[in-house]
Amino acid sequence: MTTTELTTIPFQSHNHDAGKGQNETEVMQPTHDLYKTLNQCCLIMMGIGAIRLVDTLSIIVTDKVLMPETINTVLSYASTGVMLACIITYCRFMGRAMSNVHAVRGSDGLMSPRAVWLWCFAPIFSLWKPYVGVRQILTAGSDSGQIDAETDNNMKIWWYCWAGSGVLSVLALGWITDASMNELITEAQLLSGVAKWGVIINALQLVAFYSFTKLAERIDEDQAALVSGGIAREFA
């Protein structure tokens, strides 16, 4: 029989409409299992990204596609599957972390647990809202209520690289579409252009995934401290 450890802590109600301020009990859930899955997904994506980066660099140097088509296809399917798992786990991890923060710190001035990941799928808003949500988790979830310099740098590197790779991917798609219809551009020039876009985008994504693993580790550490402040209960 397996057990799942949950923690409950008493907290002051923040329902101002009720106006009673009575004590309630909020169930807190550890994030470590989700963190481990998320970290593994990120590491796999970094491995695939490194292979892609080497492949695109080789195209620029040799003007030839050296990777066999079969391997390229396998990497594409693997990347899609792992990225999907990464997205799902990210949403669960961040939602649970924000829920725990609400239980301890209250919800005033903070995103809801759902909003912290739903903004990732909102056009335009996805360029900055997810960053704000993760920053709130790190700030409100820490004992000091502040983000240290190293974490702050990782935050900026992660988001600038991730958002930048997304914007460049859209620009690259537009360039490829136009170039493929331009009769003056040879097949070799098109291949070289695609590879150059690929090098920049893959490099940015690699850095983004690496920086995010550092952030996720910090969040998990803060969450463990929050959860351990309550009374542990085991549910069969």
- Tell me the Ramachandran region of residue 122: left when phi exceeds 0, alpha when psi lies from -120 to 50, beta otherwise: beta
pLDDT of residue 235: 29
pLDDT of residue 141: 82
* pLDDT tens for each residue of the chain, 236 residues long: 443 344 444 443 333 333 333 334 457 899 999 999 999 999 999 999 999 999 999 999 988 888 899 999 999 999 999 999 999 999 999 999 999 999 988 888 899 999 999 999 999 999 999 999 999 999 988 777 789 999 999 999 999 999 999 999 999 999 999 999 998 888 889 999 999 999 999 999 999 999 999 999 999 999 998 888 743 333 22
pLDDT of residue 82: 98
CA distance 200 to 168: 8
165-186 burial: b if 16+ Cβ within 10 Å, else e? bbebbeebeebeeeeeeeeeee
Domain boundaries, the chain: 4-235
